[in-house]
Amino acid sequence: MSKKSYPYSPATALAQSLGSIDQETQAVVPPIHVATTYLRGKDNSYPTGNVYSRADNPTYKPVEALLTKLEEGHEALLFGSGMAAATAVFQGLRPGDHVLAPKVMYWALRNWLLNFATDWGLNIEFIDMTAAETVAKHLKTGATKLVWLETPGNPLWCISDIAAIAKFAHAAGAQVAVDSTCATPLLTQPLKLGADIVMHSATKYLNGHSDVIAGALIGARDDTYWQRIRAVRAQNGAVPSPHDAAQLLRGMRTMHLRVREACQTAQFIAEQLEQHPAIAQVLYPGLPSFAGHAIAQQQMHGGFGGMLSVRLIGGADAAIHVAAHTKLWKRATSLGGVESLIEHRASIEGEGTPCPEDLLRMSCGIEDRQELLDDFLQALP
């Protein structure tokens, strides 16, 4: 959707779901379409474009239109999970294609790349993506087809310079896809910085209530790679249920309020804990002491995200002790919901993780931020 066709801000676009009203009923919330199949016209065509719900469903359309608008892309596609969205990007490649991916990234996707994508013939190199020059050195002109970024990158929140990396990648003939789950479409717009595809785990900030699993891709243009990705979704049936799509849209309507709160809380907690004698290091892109802070300042607007990690002087034992003794911070995996979560991340990532044993990952929700800080402090050994 162009700026002209919807001239309002992201906040207004989200709150009003682009102002769309159901034409048939005048409902201010779009209907849920549960049909799996659609009638052909007598001329053998599909007059509305709807054919079969494994490929597509009209309930996705308002969500996809909103994501297209927020990311200023050409088209958005909803998926049944963030992993379904991310893996579709790799399944759109061909055996032998060279791919660069970050050493620090969402662990389940790294595992999938190592255990499946490489078996199917993708040549994947995991490298440090915090310096664009390092990425440039590893690009193989003509052979590298994709540079996969995640920024801020789980769980150390490493920042990659999307604009600089996109320039190098394009010069080598590669496309750039960005897992922007933790930045949300509100803090960073990767397509405007030169990326070709943006991915979100919609399970996180987009939905925001820990009650929907979904994912999304937003493409900059309708090229052959994007068409292959669209075909992967349709043919694998990697789609969400219509009910989940509708619930996701409801969650998205308050995303700007939730993300603003989460960012402010994360910044506050990061600043407070950085001073604390029991804390060895706070990893948060909003801290001037953080390695990627300068790049984050350039490409993140309105906050540095709701995720931070802390490393404890007392090591793994102290970290596990804290997670066991918080009352408000819930001891659970995932992120981006209204409730704050805390996790001893190395325990879930397992072997080969770059995550240190003394690290706690914290997802800030929208509770009272002083109460969250006090709760963390009382849990320290």
Which of residues 217 and 312 has its CB atom nearest to ligand PLP in the complex? 217
Least distance (Å) between residue 182 CB and ligand PLP: 6
Which letter does DSSP use for residue 158 in this model? B
Nearest distance in Å: CB 199, ligand PLP:
7
Task: Considering the complex, state which of residue 59 and residue 151 has its C-beta at the smaller distance from ligand PLP.
Answer: 151
From 106, 205, 225, 284, active-site residue: 106
Q: Are 308 and 342 in contact (CB under 8 A)?
A: no
Residue 6 a catalytic site member: no
Beta strands in 130-201 (DSSP E): 144-150, 175-179, 197-201
DSSP assignments along 168-181, one per residue: HHHHTT-EEEEE-T
CB of 213 to ligand PLP, least distance (A): 5
Tell me the β-bridge partners of 148.
177
Q: Which residue is nearest to ligand PLP (CB)?
A: 82
Rounded least distance, CB 86 to ligand PLP, Å: 6
CA atoms within 13 Å, Cβ hemisphere of 227: 3
| Active site annotation includes 204 | yes
- By the 8 A CB rule, do 168 and 135 touch? yes
Closest approach, Cβ 82 to ligand PLP, in A, equals 2
Which one, 68 or 203, has the nearer CB to ligand PLP? 203
Nearest to 253 by CA among 78, 62, 58: 62
At residue 36's C-alpha, the angle toward residues 34 and 42, to 5°, is: 115
Residues that bind ligand PLP in the complex, under the rule CB under 6 A = 81-83, 86, 106, 150, 154, 179, 181-182, 201, 203, 213, 215, 334-335
C-alpha to C-alpha distances, 9 to 255, 262, 359, nearest whole angstrom: 13, 20, 37
**Quick one: 178 or 319, whose CB is closer to ligand PLP?**
178
Both tokens of 126, joined, read: 């995991």
Q: Which of 26, 3, 28 is nearest to 250 (CA)?
A: 28
Kindly state the smallest distance separating residue 23's Cβ from ligand PLP, in Å: 32
Distance in Å, CB of 42 to ligand PLP, minimum: 42
| 67 SS3 class | helix
Residue 205 bears catalytic tag: no
Catalytic residue among 97, 179, 196, 244: 179
**Contact, 129 vs 135, CB < 8 A?**
yes
Residue 116 host element (H or E): none
Residue 311 identity = R
- In the bound state with ligand PLP, the residue whose beta carbon lies nearer, of 318 and 340, is 340
Q: Which is nearer to ligand PLP, 264 or 334 (CB)?
A: 334
* Upper half-sphere CA count for residue 97 (Cβ side, 13 Å): 19
Q: Active-site residue among 54, 167, 250, 330?
A: 54
33 near 39, Cβ under 8 Å?
Answer: no
> Catalytic site residue 54?
yes
Structural Rg of the chain based on CA atoms? 21
Annotate 194-211 with b (16+ C-beta within 10 A) or e (fewer): bbbbbbbbbbbbbbbbbe
CB of 154 or CB of 265, closer to ligand PLP: 154
Enumerate the active-site residues: 54, 106, 179, 204
